Amino acid sequence: MRRTEGKLADGRQILYFDDSPEAPPRTAVDQRDLTPAENTSQIRRDPLTGEWVALAAHRQTRTYKPPAGLCPLCPSTEGRPTEIPEPGYDVVVFENRFPSFAQHATAATATGLVPAAPGVGRCEVVCFTDDHSVSFGALPVSRIRTVVDVWADRTAALSELPGVEQVFPFENRGDEIGVTLSHPHGQVYGYPFITPRTARMLEVAAAYQAEHGRPVMGDVLAAERAEGTRVLVDSTHWTAFVPAAARWPVEVHLVPHRQVPDLPALTDAERDDFAEVYRRVLGMLDGLYDRELPYIAAWHQAPVNTGRDLAWLHLQVFSVLRTADRVKYLAGSESGMAVWINDVTPEDLAMRLSSRSSHRTVSGASQ
């Protein structure tokens, strides 16, 4: 992989990650007339829950569902410059023009009962391919492997930035998820706090470790592999399974067999193996309803400065689609009380996904 750094017209950083070191040089210049975007992000802490909430009103003007011919994530062409100046690319990362968090956030702080501060952090866009019509699961294993290295690179880089406490790479796909740009892409958030989900998981991990002397994810992984009914893929370094207490109608966890805190800690062999396993899992998911499944793929990794001995890196992939044409909406119990009620049993989902793995292939993909 080759890494090339550049700047966009408004000063934002752009990074090209090429599959091969022999790829053409990345020298294109952004010719657009852009002024630096104002960022008024701020965070406020809810005094009733202790959780931080981000406010980013400037995001109301962000690009919303443009036609394919006006996609800002496609390569630039003559007379139609985009966010990516080059005429083609493998993987590209750039600073989001409409970020929820940024190093230059300038929002005023509040006082009194509700603590507030500028939303200092970082938000990046990760474009997985220059092909507008392809999906992540249709990428060759070699490209997925490049993306893994990109996630690790950005986790390490954002972890060094002032104010960043947690790094979160993720992908949203599909209209039902609320995606506003259909080009295959993901994002990386650098939060200025530890997220509520991660804080709770670390709290549970600490209590389990104190009581049993072992990491809770290690015992969950061993139990799933031993029982086997919810396991989808069990490879040399990774196991993919439907969790026994799944919240979502479609949910799969990909867990490394070795406890590591984050993506940079993965070995080359573990990264190679993940690329193979993940592609198989995405094929199962797209085969479930014989359509591209809308999903969120969320990397859970250790915060920057705490809990690194307790965290166990894993990828959670989930979908709101409970049948081929019915969406699981978060209603009163889920939205009001955070108590999930799942319409699908994990065992049934695992059986249906496994049955699709033997005859489902992803069109347009190559090894």
Instruction: List the catalytic residues.
Output: 185
Would you say 71 is a known binding-site residue? yes
Size of the chain in residues? 367
DSSP β-bridge partners for residue 17? 3, 91
**Whether the Cβ atoms of residue 254 and residue 242 lie closer than 8 Å to each other:** no
- Using alpha carbons, select from 105, 98, 107 the residue that is nearest to residue 60: 98
CA distances from 164 to 122, 159, 309 (A): 8, 6, 19
Residue 137 to residue 283: CA distance in whole angstroms: 6
**Whether the Cβ atoms of residue 62 and residue 78 lie closer than 8 Å to each other:** no
DSSP β-bridge partners for residue 295? 173
Alpha helices for the chain (secondary structure H): 141-159, 196-212, 216-227, 268-288, 337, 346-357
Would you say 74 is a known binding-site residue? yes
Would you say 314 is a known binding-site residue? no
Residue 322 to residue 349: CA distance in whole angstroms: 10
Residue 151 to residue 275: CA distance in whole angstroms: 12
Would you say 127 is a known binding-site residue? no
By the 10 Å C-beta count (0-12 exposed, 13-18 middle, 19+ buried), 290 is classed as exposed
User: What's the token pair of residue 177?
Assistant: 């998820």
Which positions make up the binding site for Zn(2+)? 71, 74, 132, 183
Which residues contribute to the annotated binding site? 71, 74, 132, 183
